[in-house]
């Protein structure tokens, strides 16, 4: 089984070309936003959804001009904000999905908007950090940080923290747009994680903490060179350590760093010196899916299609649940309910009152899955990826078949899915592709497909 991708010596890919290759569908890659009654999320079918979190029924959906990627919606003072790969930031009324305003950048928006003091901050692949007035969308200022990717992580003590792929650094920028200091690193930065000096979590790029105000903090910067940097609140590098693989979107909890990696492992490392506490090996690359620790359990996902529940103390597997596509969207929680999206075009809701025995409450279907998650091609190892993902078709009976197979597996746990070897040999292995919706016997035929990729949009 393919175990992920070694990024050492990897040629620099064309990010914009990769993003342009994404096809319309219903896949979910962002973190859903949950309030008292509803869940909000975007999908690659170009829609922002609001659904009832108990009934999984649609309240409304708003169509963007293009695919919605990993930028997550966030609600602040009664307005929902989200970015999209079409380059627009949208401000919507969360009650009915009505457009309040929109702001166009010259690139694509990958990161979740951040808010502070009635200012909205967004970053774009045009290399700019934008500051907007949050109620009107009026541009207050913009700062060019170098073309291609600008990684917007968090707002801490009123300052905006962003990473630049071109300059290969992390920058601390004031609310007025002044660069206060920079941390130079050796390769592309990923989203940083912030914590108190004793290792209590503050925020990272996948949380909905709009702004943090603390006396002192430290932050972790992962680099694509498989190096990790710990910095203090003045930008001083406290340590830098080489690790086995490039980490993606780390989190910090109780003095430890938790992160997935491009080699397919989930790691726990000491915040003190980056020494390894444990690692858990998944069946494929982990992209964007930060481990989220909730009530003493670390929840994460992998491109092998599994949702994993691990013991954060020793990395022991508690349970796993197989979806029909890569799990890129990190989990979000409301009480004892966990919500998480999959590239299989479904949002899943689990009751985790008993963390050892989760119960699937419902799964909500969006649109038609795209042909493949092509960002994995972009990272490398194309032939193995193509063999695993592109030569297979998605089938509507996948979910029930996997459940039945999981019950028979010697590794089956409370979630009902287990034997990786058997699963990888089955007709349901990997991502199903886009051909199914083109067939007349597809559940998406007619109104939602029948040989026309764009039919779902009507």
Give pLDDT, residue 410: 32
**Residue pLDDT, tens place only, 304-350:** 899 999 999 999 999 999 998 889 889 999 999 999 999 899 999 99
pTM for the model stands at: 0.80
Per-residue pLDDT, averaged over 9-29, amounts to: 67
Comparing CA positions, the residue from 104, 89, 101 lying closest to residue 42 is: 89
Q: How far apart are CA 438 and CA 445, in angstroms?
A: 7
**Residue pLDDT, tens place only, 357-368:** 999 999 999 977
Give pLDDT, residue 447: 31
Give pLDDT, residue 114: 92
- Indicate the average pLDDT of the chain: 78
Comparing CA positions, the residue from 118, 150, 152 lying closest to residue 137 is: 118
Query: Are 325 and 399 a contacting pair, CB within 8 Å?
Result: no
By DSSP bridging, strand 265-270 and strand 58-63 are unpaired
Give pLDDT, residue 209: 60
Output phi, psi for 363, to 5 deg.
-135, 135
Asked whether the CA dihedral 193, 194, 196, 197 is positive or negative, the reply is: positive
Give pLDDT, residue 186: 86
Largest CA distance in the chain: 61
Q: Which of 27-31, 47-51, 374-378 holds the top average pLDDT?
A: 47-51
State both tokens at 143.
Answer: 């700062």
Per-residue pLDDT, averaged over 131-155, amounts to: 87
Residue 148 banded pLDDT, cuts 50, 70, 90: low
Q: How far apart are CA 191 and CA 206, in angstroms?
A: 9
Which residue intervals of 380-434 are DSSP H helices?
382-385, 398-408, 420-425
Query: Are 98 and 59 a contacting pair, CB within 8 Å?
Result: no
Give pLDDT, residue 149: 63
Per-residue pLDDT, averaged over 155-173, amounts to: 89
pLDDT at 220 over 50: yes
Query: Are 439 and 398 a contacting pair, CB within 8 Å?
Result: no
146: left (phi over 0), alpha (psi -120 to 50) or beta: left
pLDDT at 277 over 50: yes
Burial 139-148 (b: 16+ CB within 10 A, else e): ebebbebebb
Comparing CA positions, the residue from 272, 284, 379, 270 lying closest to residue 322 is: 284
pLDDT at 444 over 80: no
Least confidently predicted of 62-66, 87-91, 372-376, 432-436: 432-436
Query: Are 285 and 271 a contacting pair, CB within 8 Å?
Result: no
- Angstrom CA distances, 100 to 62, 67, 96, 339, stand at 12, 20, 11, 27
Give pLDDT, residue 224: 80
- Other beta carbons within 10 Å of 351: 14
Residue 286 banded pLDDT, cuts 50, 70, 90: confident
Per-residue pLDDT, averaged over 238-243, amounts to: 92
Q: How far apart are CA 401 and CA 131, in angstroms?
A: 49
Residue 373 banded pLDDT, cuts 50, 70, 90: low
Per-residue pLDDT, averaged over 90-115, amounts to: 95
Q: How far apart are CA 11 and CA 13, in angstroms?
A: 6
State both tokens at 180.
Answer: 């206060």
Give pLDDT, residue 376: 56
Q: How far apart are CA 343 and CA 327, in angstroms?
A: 6
């Amino acid at each position: 089984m393919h175990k992920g991708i070694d990024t050492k010596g990897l040629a620099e890919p064309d990010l914009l070309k990769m993003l342009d290759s994404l096809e319309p569908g219903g896949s979910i890659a962002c973190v859903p936003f949950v309030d008292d009654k509803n869940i909000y999320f975007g999908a690659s079918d170009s829609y922002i959804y609001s659904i009832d979190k108990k009934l999984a029924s649609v309240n409304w959906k708003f169509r963007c001009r293009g695919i919605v990627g990993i930028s997550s919606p966030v609600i602040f003072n009664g307005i929902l904000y989200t970015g999209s790969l079409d380059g627009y930031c949208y401000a919507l009324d969360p009650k009915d999905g009505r457009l309040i305003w929109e702001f166009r950048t010259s690139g694509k928006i990958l990161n979740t908007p951040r808010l502070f003091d009635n200012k909205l901050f967004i970053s774009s692949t045009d290399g700019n950090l934008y500051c907007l007035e949050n109620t009107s969308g009026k541009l207050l200022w913009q700062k060019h940080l170098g073309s291609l990717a600008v990684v917007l992580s968090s707002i801490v003590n009123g300052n905006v923290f962003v990473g630049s792929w071109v300059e290969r650094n992390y920058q601390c920028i004031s609310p007025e747009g002044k660069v206060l200091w920079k941390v130079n690193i050796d390769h592309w930065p990923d989203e940083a994680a912030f914590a108190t000096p004793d290792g209590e979590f503050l925020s990272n790029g996948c949380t909905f903490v709009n702004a943090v105000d603390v006396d002192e903090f430290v932050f972790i910067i992962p680099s694509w060179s498989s190096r990790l940097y710990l910095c203090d609140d003045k930008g001083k590098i406290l340590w830098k350590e080489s690790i086995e693989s490039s980490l993606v979107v780390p989190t910090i909890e109780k003095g430890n760093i938790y992160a997935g990696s491009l080699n397919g492992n989930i790691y726990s490392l000491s915040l003190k010196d980056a020494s390894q506490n444990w690692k858990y090996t998944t069946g494929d690359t982990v992209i964007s899916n930060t481990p989220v620790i909730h009530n003493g359990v670390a929840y994460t996902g992998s491109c092998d299609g599994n949702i994993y529940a691990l013991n954060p103390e020793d990395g022991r597997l508690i349970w796993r649940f197989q979806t029909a596509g890569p799990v890129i969207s990190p989990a979000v929680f409301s009480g004892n309910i966990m919500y998480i999206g999959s590239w299989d075009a479904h949002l899943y809701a689990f009751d985790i009152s008993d963390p050892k025995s989760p119960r699937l409450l419902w799964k909500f279907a969006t649109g038609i899955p795209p042909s493949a998650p092509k960002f994995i091609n972009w990272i490398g190892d194309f032939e193995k990826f193509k063999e695993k993902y592109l030569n297979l078709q998605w089938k509507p009976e996948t979910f029930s078949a996997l459940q039945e197979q999981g019950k028979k597996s010697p590794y089956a746990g409370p979630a009902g899915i287990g034997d990786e070897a058997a699963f990888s040999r089955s007709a349901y292995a990997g991502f199903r592709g886009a051909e199914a919706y083109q067939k007349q016997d597809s559940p998406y035929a007619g109104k939602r497909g029948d040989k026309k990729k764009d039919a779902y949009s009507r």
